[in-house]
Amino acid sequence: MIEVLIFYLHIVGALYAFTKNWQKGNIKDGIFAILIIGLFFSIGWALTGTIAHVFYPKSWNSIYFTSDTLSLVLLLIPEIIFFYYYFYKESSTPKNA
C-alpha cells in the first residue's frame, strides 16, 4: 500500500517537472525532464533494492511493509533532494533585462 503512495508521488513530481520545464522552455525540455526522472528512478531503485534485500529479513515482511517498500523509502530520500535542487529551486543568479 505504501508503494502505491510513493508511485503516485513520483507521478505528481514528473507532471510538475514536465509542466515547469515546458512552460520555461518548450515541449522537448518537458520530455527531457521526465526522462531524467525515469533514469534517476530506475537506477536508484536498482541500487536501493539491492541494499534493502540484503539488510531486510524476509521474516519481517507484512502486508504493509516489505523489502520493496524499504527500497522505495530509501530511494525517496535522495530523490527529494534531487527534485528540490533540479526542478523546484529557482536559480540564484540575477537575470539580465
In a domain, 79, yes or no: yes
Q: State the pLDDT at residue 1.
A: 81
Q: Residue 89 — very low, low, confident or very high, per pLDDT cuts 50/70/90?
A: confident
DSSP 62: -
The mean per-residue pLDDT over the stretch 71-90 comes to 90
CB proximity list for 65: less than 8 A, separation 6 or greater: 2
Is the whole-model pTM more than 0.85?
A: no
Number of structural domains (the chain) is: 1
In a domain, 97, yes or no: no
Which domain range does residue 39 map to?
2-8+26-87
Burial of 97 per CB tally in 10 Å (0-12, 13-18, 19+)? exposed
In a domain, 44, yes or no: yes
- pLDDT higher than 90, residue 88: no
Q: State the pLDDT at residue 41.
A: 95
CA 50/CA 1 separation, integer angstroms: 21
The mean per-residue pLDDT over the stretch 77-91 comes to 86
In a domain, 36, yes or no: yes
In a domain, 96, yes or no: no
> Which three three-digit cell numbers place residue 11?
507521478
DSSP 25: S
CA 91/CA 84 separation, integer angstroms: 12
pLDDT tens for each residue of 2-34 = 999 999 999 999 999 999 999 999 999 999 999
